[in-house]
Amino acid sequence: MISSLHHCDYTQKNRAFNCRMRNRYYEEVYYAFRALCPNDFADDQDATPEKNNAWYQHLSKDIKRYERLLMTCLEYAQAAIFYGKAEYTSLYSKDKRWGILQEEIFLVHFLQELLSTTRYVIARIDTDKVLQQWSGEMQGMKSSPVVYGFVSDIQGKLNTMNAGTIDEFKELLKHVLDRFQIGNTLFGTVQDLQNFY
């Protein structure tokens, strides 16, 4: 009789399924992230305000899809290593067939970090939309000579902040792209060592 749950057929099949789904979604996550990145990272100094605004609109529209893919990948990655259920786990060093790799555990933490960064960007975009709406409403206030200077000053600061936000997001995505080099290495190791059928 099998004494440990992780050795039963059901658990093995479940782990294999979760690993395959994690791998599939990881690739989708990476390609969805690359689609969010500006094409001109190398020529960033030459980016016009129009190009920056077009990219920012693209980012605002597509980042939620990226977040959904990332959440799905993280769920499968956690399920694949029995996240939070240490009694079911066996490390690869003890079980070459079904054991959990250290890289799989690190991959979960990597995906959690990506999700946290993505949610930060989404929150900033949502706040920016509110500020843009407020800025538009202030346009009407310019007709009043009493508040004209105050409104113009605030709008100038908002415009400066918006330009800074785009630069900040580009810089953040460059760092995430560097992080993906680590994630892709982990992912490659996991794919090479796991051969579920």
Q: Quick: pLDDT tens for 49-83.
A: 888 888 989 999 999 999 999 999 999 999 988 86
Please state whether the predicted TM-score (pTM) of the whole model is above 0.95.
no
| Cβ contact 142:5 at 8 Å | no
Task: State which amino acid sits at residue 75.
Answer: E
Contacts of 183 (CB under 8 A, 6+ apart): 26, 30, 107, 110, 111, 114
Which range marks the domain in which residue 152 is found?
5-193
Total tally of structural domains belonging to the chain = 1
137-148 pLDDT per residue, tens: 665 555 555 555
How high is the pLDDT of residue 122? 95
How high is the pLDDT of residue 180? 95
For residue 158, how many other CB atoms are within 10 A of its CB?
A: 16
How high is the pLDDT of residue 178? 92
User: If pLDDT is split at 50, 70 and 90, which confidence band does 6 have?
Assistant: very low
User: If pLDDT is split at 50, 70 and 90, which confidence band does 118 have?
Assistant: very high
Checking if the pLDDT of 5 tops 70, the result is no
User: If pLDDT is split at 50, 70 and 90, which confidence band does 2 have?
Assistant: very low
